[in-house]
Amino acid sequence: MDAPLIQVRSLRMYFPVGNKIFGKRRQLKAVDDVSFDLYPGETFGLVGESGCGKTTVGRSLVRLYRPTGGEILYQGTDIAPLDEKAVMPYRRRMQMIFQDPYASLNPRMTVSSIIAEPMKLQHVAQDEITARVAELVEKVGLKKDHLNRYPHEFSGGQRQRIGIARALAMRPEFIVCDEPISALDVSIQAQVINMLEELQQQMGMTYLFVSHDLSMVRHISHRVGVMYLGHMVELATAEELYSHMQHPYTKALMSAVPIADPDLAAKTQRIVLQGDVPQPIDPPPGCPFASRCRYCKPFCWETRPAMKEVSPGHFLACHL
């Protein structure tokens, strides 16, 4: 296997909340001690329920957030502590496709201006910008006569294609896809996913694919990481995870996936989690899943489990 493109080590992203108490502010621990690798040309799926920290991980990797702690090694260089000026050269190599195509495009800019904006910020020559914009519009399945229109004149699927074209403007090596199909009609979702796969094959890009759609993650991802309350609890190849899941949270998550076959669905037992979700402002000292785990033992409340390799390429954070 090739050397990793990105190595994430003990990534932490805390946000201060509320007023100061005795000179200190409480912290919301959105991401707490997350580690994994991303390899050239692969799609790494990131799943978990709302609020688990998936999007925060993605935004931290492309440095929309400056991490509280840990390392983000981009081909061996730690970009986590870099200031905005120092991280600018890496903007050419990392981009993001946002979840909401309605909110992520400037309504006062034409399609041509939106796609050209990243290249202008990187001081690309105007002739090259014009040629590149025309190429990208065709690559994402839009027409040249769309260039002078505004975002409100397009459907949700077309707007997301504009966002994808903008992300491709600087020919990046790495793209964070932050639930890129969740706001689209089901009929459009497959088109966008197929386009992303084709673009990856053509350009050799690496994806971090954040999604709630577990079936889609299985389809598009080479490896999958499962997050819960800011922690990575299980990580494996897509086939290994879906066929030999071991963490009790992963099992509960997968049992919620709808099954089209009614006979098979009737034989499948849905795992309904009991207990309360801990607050990320004041997380428990032990296993973050202890309050909802039916297998929980007393020591689970006291010590946080470390990620261990339970089989080749399959990592798990569970005492049991």
Could you tell me if residue 267 is inside a domain? yes
What pLDDT does 10 receive?
A: 95
What pLDDT does 260 receive?
A: 67
Could you tell me if residue 165 is inside a domain? no
Distance CA 230, CA 202 (A): 34
Q: Residue 243 is part of which domain span? A: 6-93+172-316
Sheet of 94-97, strands arranged across: 94-97, 174-178, 206-210, 43-47, 223-228, 231-237, 314-316, 308-311
Output the domain CATH number for residue 291: 3.40.50.300
Could you tell me if residue 257 is inside a domain? yes
Total domains in the chain come to: 1
**Which residues have C-beta within 8 Å of that of residue 269, sequence separation ≥ 6?**
255
What pLDDT does 43 receive?
A: 96
SS3 labels along the chain: CCCCCEEEEEEEEEEEEEEEECCEEEEEEEEEEEEEEECCCCEEEEECCCCCCHHHHHHHHCCCCCCCEEEEEECCEECCCCCHHHHHHHHCCEEEECCCCCCCCCCCCCHHHHHHHHHHHCCCCHHHHHHHHHHHHHHCCCCHHHCCCCHHHCCHHHHHHHHHHHHHCCCCCEEEEECCCCCCCHHHHHHHHHHHHHHHHHHCCEEEEECCCHHHHHHHCCEEEEEECCEEEEEEEHHHHHHCCCCHHHHHHHHCCCCCCHHHHHHCCCCCCCCCCCCCCCCCCCCCCHHHCCCCCHHHHCCCCCCEEEECCEEECCCC
Could you tell me if residue 120 is inside a domain? no
What pLDDT does 2 receive?
A: 78
Could you tell me if residue 108 is inside a domain? no
What is the pLDDT tens value at each position of the chain, 320 positions in all?
579 999 999 999 999 887 777 667 788 999 999 999 999 999 999 999 888 999 999 999 999 999 999 999 999 999 999 998 899 889 889 999 998 888 889 999 999 999 999 999 888 899 999 999 999 999 998 999 999 999 999 988 899 999 999 999 999 999 999 999 887 888 888 888 999 999 999 999 999 999 988 888 988 999 999 999 999 999 999 999 999 999 999 998 888 777 766 766 666 777 777 877 788 887 878 899 988 888 989 999 999 999 999 999 999 999 98
Could you tell me if residue 212 is inside a domain? yes
Could you tell me if residue 159 is inside a domain? no
Could you tell me if residue 302 is inside a domain? yes
Distance CA 39, CA 257 (A): 28
For CA atoms 140, 142, 143, 148, give the dihedral sign.
negative
